[in-house]
Amino acid sequence: MPDSNVIVLLKDVVAGYQTTGRSWRSLFKHVNVVLRDVNLRVYDGERVAIIGESGSGKTTLLKVILGLLKPVKGSVEVLGKEIYKLPWKERVNVLKQVGYVPQDPYKALNPKLRVRTILSEPLESLKAKPEEVEERVRDVAKMVQLSDKILDKYPGELSGGMMQRVLIARSIIHDPEILILDEPTSALDVSIQAQIIELINNIHKKLELAILTVTHDLGVAQYLSDRAVILYKGGVIEEGLIDDIIARPKHKYTNLLIASYRASV
């Protein structure tokens, strides 16, 4: 695919967290490197999964893509703009085209706000008329199978599955170019997980947006992606079509992931 169709592009990204040395002779800062020379492309309309266990660097990679952690080295482009070279306001405007669903719906939703307010807040900057905002809220709620009655409830009155639907609705309310999902089923009961996976895939078909799923679960990745990137100790060790990776893994760590997945089903 041509580069003009690339929604997210990472080139040779090295990233980590600054720590302060405790030497009595001097105080100095250095970086505890987490990501090492990561390259990643996500194309328009594509479904991609980043797969890795805890400690692989998934959270750090998310922060880099979402504009929250500047790399020590390399470049990060979102919708053709190198976001860490932009002034803050311009960066925010670009990242408004990124929908993000955090991992834990129980922590991500403000318990003091009704669902209607939670969904309408991202539209405030558009200065739309109240009736237009209400129409959009109802349309998106219907898309994620939330009834009008749910819009008047508080998060604490909802089940985990319903809260996840609210998070997904909030992430697509402003019609983004890409939806990023952080462990989208890990906080849910097994009985609800399949429903959320089906909902995400339906949204992908309806809106034709790119989807980037970050997960430790190979089963979830298989249902939510066409292409996968295996992350291990902060580096990409394997990538390709998800079915090809599962059928013919090249790296020892990928073999271990597959064996663990097959043992759990």
pLDDT at 3 over 80: no
- Residue 23 domain-assigned (yes or no): no
pLDDT at 27 over 50: no
- Residue 91 domain-assigned (yes or no): yes
- Residue 7 domain-assigned (yes or no): no
69 contacts 148 by C-beta, under 8 angstroms: no
Q: What are phi and psi of 243, to 5 degrees?
A: -65, -35
pLDDT, position 92: 92
- Residue 3 domain-assigned (yes or no): no
pLDDT, position 141: 96
When divided into structural domains, the chain yields a total of 1
Indicate the residue type of 189.
D
3-state secondary structure of 35: strand
pLDDT, position 139: 96
- Residue 149 domain-assigned (yes or no): yes
For 119-162, the pLDDT digits (tens) are: 999 888 777 788 999 999 999 999 999 999 999 999 999 999 99
Q: Which residues pair with 9 in a beta bridge?
A: 41, 77
- Residue 12 domain-assigned (yes or no): no
pLDDT at 200 over 90: yes
Indicate the residue type of 17.
Y
pLDDT, position 22: 57
In this structure, the number of other CB atoms found within 10 A of the CB of residue 264 comes to 9
pLDDT, position 123: 87
User: Which residue range is the domain that position 201 belongs to?
Assistant: 46-72+87-264
- Residue 16 domain-assigned (yes or no): no
Each as own residue / partner, the long-range contacts of residues 102-105 (CB below 8 Å, 24 or more positions apart, any chain) are 102/167, 102/182, 103/182, 103/183, 103/184, 103/186, 103/187, 104/187, 105/155, 105/160, 105/163, 105/164, 105/166, 105/167, 105/187
CATH of residue 55: 3.40.50.300
pLDDT, position 191: 84
Please tell me the distance from the alpha carbon of residue 244 to that of residue 11, in angstroms, as a whole number.
24
- Residue 31 domain-assigned (yes or no): no
pLDDT, position 23: 56
**40, 182, 173, 168 alpha-carbon torsion, rounded to 10°:** 140
For 219-238, the pLDDT digits (tens) are: 899 999 999 999 999 999 99
* pTM (two decimals): 0.92
